Amino acid sequence: MIEIIDLHKNFGKNEVLKGIDLTIDSKGVFAILGPNGSGKTTLIKSILGMVLPTSGEIKINGSSIKKNWEYRKSIDYLPQIANFPANLRVKELFKMIKDLRKCPDYDETPYVKRLGLEPHLDKRLSNLSGGTKQKVNLTLTFLFDSPFIILDEPTTGLDPAALIILREMIQEEKDKGKIILVTSHIMNFVEEISDEIVFLLEGKVYFRGSGDDLKEETNQPSLEMAIANLLKETEYA
């Protein structure tokens, strides 16, 4: 369970989060959406402990995350941009991350085979394409089998075949009973995988519900058009 209670975050005079209240207490895929500057990244980084809120509280499975770094072991995180040392070989990166997480016996082979990474294991990260780097990052994200997964723009650089695999992997993790938070600008991907949408606007939760609920509320045939309609309505409100 993730509980976010009256969360505020200021950066100087700029108030980015303005009293977020959000509870996620069931398995599934929850898409965190919103325009640039809506607070998505700040919210995600607050959950991860990378940003300290100005006020409010975040609880994971009933316990406050404040001064409790160990909760991070229960979260697997795919950042939008993952910066690893460019001179590392792929197989060296896998070993390094497993050693850092004190899980040396975890076997990445099933993900390596599934994502077609076998030919790249001896290559340096600097020599990989953007899509191949993303497959490496996805392997590291799903490898450790944690109960919470946060995926920040997971489709970046992926070809259509890899997107199908990603959707399958997300569904498999959901079937295990996990909570998965996803941010993405690709609305057809969001529509296919998400159980609920949390739409942020100007630091507040503006909408929460299913994609079908949002389409019905905005009288639009697709999620992409429904989101566009929301933004248009709020722009001229």
Domain that holds residue 224: 2-235
The model carries a pTM of 0.93
Question: 63-84: per-residue pLDDT in tens?
Answer: 999 988 899 999 999 998 888 9
How far, in Å, CA of 211 to CA of 35, rounded? 17
Domain count, the chain: 1
Q: What confidence tier does 236 reach under pLDDT thresholds 50, 70, 90? A: very low
Question: For residues 56 and 21, is the Cβ–Cβ distance under 8 A?
Answer: no
pLDDT at 47 over 70: yes
CATH number at residue 41: 3.40.50.300
What percentage of the chain reaches a pLDDT higher than 90? 89
Question: 190-222: per-residue pLDDT in tens?
Answer: 999 999 999 999 999 999 999 999 999 999 999
* Mean pLDDT computed over 87-107: 95
